[in-house]
């Protein structure tokens, strides 16, 4: 049965969405721990139909069905096993603490996952924390601040508006929410007249995805995509004053800082004026996609023809999107991931087994395709430690 495709923008409400990218039959979840190849190959699938709003710049999967999503204890998206990511996380936590004097304060994190970031904020600033996430696993992260933290294994919503805080944080969650305008209005209502409350959100930055034609960064769970301007416009419509916009982590992450206000001041930041550039980026992605896909298809054919052994490094969402879009099954047998909880599980949709780095000692691949180039230095160091010599090919090459 065909699903209804929305035409109204979920961010600004205008009937100005135009479709520019479609993928049929992709796994509806990318990071669930799947214990058998049979389950992975038969995993439920959905469609991606990306629409661009010419009025506000928001990009949305118009075919997204939230009932297909599973956020439970087997949802495994943590990046905390990476030294590169952990160092970034700690720098970010310390910067926010110093900038907003988050010491001995009460903090809320919406979409806290297993609690990594909230724990850092509470430890470094002697803060009290409240985290919301249906995928939370109790006592996953031991911490001396544990008695100052409360975790609620549920989606944040209106029923939790009684919880107040000096700082509201939401990292890598808004992109999973299709009804973004309603969600941001809920957050604003929960803050009420507490004008000093700081709000911090972090999400993927879409202009990088469009300019790099990074089809591996488009997957089912991410139903909402923002630029600096489209995110700021959403916040202002919801009743926030935007006080900071920046990208971090090799421009992969977009971060916004705001406080409750009228939505009309202060004046828009210069970087919010990006609607024309967004239109160009969307057009570039659409016109260049086939060339990018053809290049990767040729590469995979050449790898197979030469009898070379290839693996991907990254057993998460990027890997699922890459393998699915290119329909790679037997050409690549394994996905490497440093998260030990993923070892022995399988990639949704295409069925590759996820292995730890130690597996490469015996497997001896000729080529390693790295799903996120920011990790190449730590991957290279790990290969040296293992005594594995292989060509490293970044996904962006």
Question: Do 43 and 29 contact (CB within 8 A), yes or no?
Answer: yes
Q: What is the pLDDT of residue 1?
A: 33
Provide the residue-wise pLDDT of the chain in tens; the chain has 397 residues: 344 566 799 999 999 899 999 999 999 999 999 999 999 999 999 999 999 999 999 999 999 999 999 999 899 999 999 999 999 999 999 999 999 999 999 999 999 999 999 999 999 999 999 999 999 998 888 899 999 999 999 999 999 989 999 999 999 999 999 999 999 999 999 999 999 999 999 999 999 999 999 999 999 999 999 999 999 999 999 999 999 999 999 999 999 999 999 656 677 899 999 999 999 999 999 999 999 999 999 999 999 999 999 999 999 999 999 999 999 998 999 999 999 999 999 999 999 999 999 999 999 999 999 999 999 999 999 999 999 999 999 999 8
Q: Contact 330/23 with Cβ under 8 angstroms?
A: no
Residue 268 CB neighbours (<10 A): 15
Q: State both tokens at 381.
A: 């160091």
* DSSP one-letter code for 195: T
Asked whether the domain spanning 306-394 has the same topology as the one spanning 83-267, the reply is yes
pLDDT the model gives residue 6: 63
Give, in order, the Cα–Cα distances in Å from 266 to each of 100, 236, 256, 263, 269: 18, 10, 14, 8, 8
Q: Taking the domain 306-394, which CATH number applies?
A: 3.40.50.720
Would you give the DSSP letter of residue 174?
G
What's the CATH number of domain 83-267, 3.40.50.150, 2.40.37.10, 3.40.1190.20, 3.40.50.920? 3.40.50.150
Q: Could you tell me what percentage of the chain is helix, strand and coil, using 3-state DSSP and rounding each to the nearest 5?
A: 35, 25, 40
3-state secondary structure of 285: helix
pLDDT (0 to 100) of residue 265:
65
Predicted TM-score of the model (pTM): 0.95
Q: Compute the distance between CA of residue 130 and CA of residue 163 in angstroms, rounded to an integer.
A: 8
pLDDT at 139: 81
pLDDT of residue 5: 61
Domain borders along the chain are 17-66, 83-267, 306-394
Those residues with Cβ within 8 angstroms of residue 101's Cβ, 6 or more apart along the chain or in another chain: none
Q: What is the pLDDT of residue 104?
A: 98
Q: Is 116 helix (H, G, I), strand (E, B) or coil?
A: helix
Q: Which of 46, 25, 32, 62 is nearest to 225 (CA)?
A: 62
Residue 51 is inside which H or E element, if any?
Answer: strand 45-53
DSSP state of 376: H
Could you give the CA distance from residue 50 to residue 13 in angstroms, rounded to a whole number?
A: 16
């Amino acid at each position: 049965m065909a699903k209804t495709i929305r035409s109204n923008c979920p961010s600004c409400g205008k009937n100005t969405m135009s479709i520019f990218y479609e993928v049929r039959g992709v796994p509806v979840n990318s990071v669930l721990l799947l214990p058998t190849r049979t389950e992975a190959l038969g995993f439920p699938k959905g469609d991606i139909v990306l629409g661009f709003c010419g009025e506000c710049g928001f990009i949305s999967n118009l075919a997204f069905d939230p009932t297909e999503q599973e956020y439970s204890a087997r949802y495994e998206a943590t990046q905390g096993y990476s030294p590169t990511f952990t160092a970034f996380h700690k720098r970010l936590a310390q910067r926010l603490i110093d900038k907003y004097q988050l010491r001995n304060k009460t903090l809320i994190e919406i979409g806290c996952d297993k609690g990594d970031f909230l724990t850092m904020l509470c430890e470094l600033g002697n803060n009290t924390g409240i985290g919301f996430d249906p995928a939370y696993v109790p006592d996953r992260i031991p911490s001396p601040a544990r008695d100052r933290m409360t975790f609620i294994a549920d989606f944040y919503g209106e029923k939790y508006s009684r919880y107040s805080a000096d700082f509201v944080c939401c990292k890598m969650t808004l992109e999973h929410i299709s009804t973004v305008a309603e969600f941001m209005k809920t957050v604003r209502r929960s803050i009420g007249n507490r004008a000093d409350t700081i709000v911090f959100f972090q999400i993927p930055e879409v202009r990088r995805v469009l300019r790099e034609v990074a089809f591996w960064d488009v997957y089912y769970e991410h139903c909402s995509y923002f630029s600096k301007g489209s995110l700021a416009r959403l916040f202002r419509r919801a009743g926030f004053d935007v006080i900071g916009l920046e990208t971090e982590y090799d421009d992969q992450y977009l971060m916004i800082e705001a406080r409750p206000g009228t939505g009309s001041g202060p004046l828009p930041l210069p970087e919010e004026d990006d609607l024309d550039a967004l239109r160009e980026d969307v057009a570039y992605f659409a016109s260049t996609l086939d060339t990018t896909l053809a290049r990767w298809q040729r590469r995979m054919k050449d790898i197979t023809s030469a009898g070379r052994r290839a693996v991907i490094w990254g057993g998460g969402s990027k890997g699922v999107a890459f393998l699915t879009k290119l329909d790679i099954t037997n050409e690549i047998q394994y996905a490497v991931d440093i998260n030990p909880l993923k070892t022995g599980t399988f990639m949704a949709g295409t069925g590759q087994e996820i292995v730890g780095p130690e597996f490469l000692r015996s497997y001896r691949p000729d080529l390693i395709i790295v799903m996120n180039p920011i990790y190449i230095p730590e991957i290279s160091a790990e290969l040296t430690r293992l005594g594995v010599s292989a060509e490293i090919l970044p996904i962006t090459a």
